[in-house]
């Protein structure tokens, strides 16, 4: 788009932060008067209700296990195509039900 009229040229004035403070045009086009322009909020991005991973109801816990036990747990979980947490939960549940009986 070709600018209409003479290009606006003025000597650049910068503030303390290094930004030009007397900017009147950009690429030959006049900048709008900010006092007359109404700001509109963005309608995209940000947090949305219902977004994200669904809650599983499980709580995180930190366990300190010997390396051999961790290796066995991981192998067993991989063999049964389950996650480590699921496998550990099943094994703990089986052990707890055995103790009750």
Which sign, positive or negative, has the C-alpha torsion 94, 98, 99, 101?
positive
Answer whether residue 15 shows pLDDT above 90: no
Residue 78 inside a domain? The answer is yes
Residue 80 lies inside a defined structural domain of this protein: yes
Range(s) of the domain holding residue 71: 67-100
In a domain, 75, yes or no: yes
> Is residue 41 situated within a structural domain?
no
21 within a domain of the structure (yes/no): no
Domains in the chain, number: 1
Q: What is the pLDDT of residues 30-61, one digit of tens each?
A: 888 878 888 888 777 778 888 888 888 889 99
37-53 burial: b if 16+ Cβ within 10 Å, else e: eeeeeeeeeeeeeeeee
The per-residue pLDDT for 96 is 86
């Amino acid at each position: 788009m070709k600018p209409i009229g003479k290009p606006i040229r003025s000597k650049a004035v910068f503030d303390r932060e290094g930004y030009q403070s007397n900017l009147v045009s950009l690429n030959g086009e006049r900048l709008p008067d900010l006092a007359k322009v109404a700001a509109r909020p963005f309608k995209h991005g940000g947090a949305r209700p219902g977004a994200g991973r669904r809650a599983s109801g499980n709580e995180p816990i930190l366990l300190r296990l010997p390396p051999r036990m961790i290796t066995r747990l991981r192998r067993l979980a991989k063999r049964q195509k389950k996650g480590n947490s699921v496998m550990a939960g099943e094994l703990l549940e089986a052990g707890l039900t055995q103790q009750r009986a």
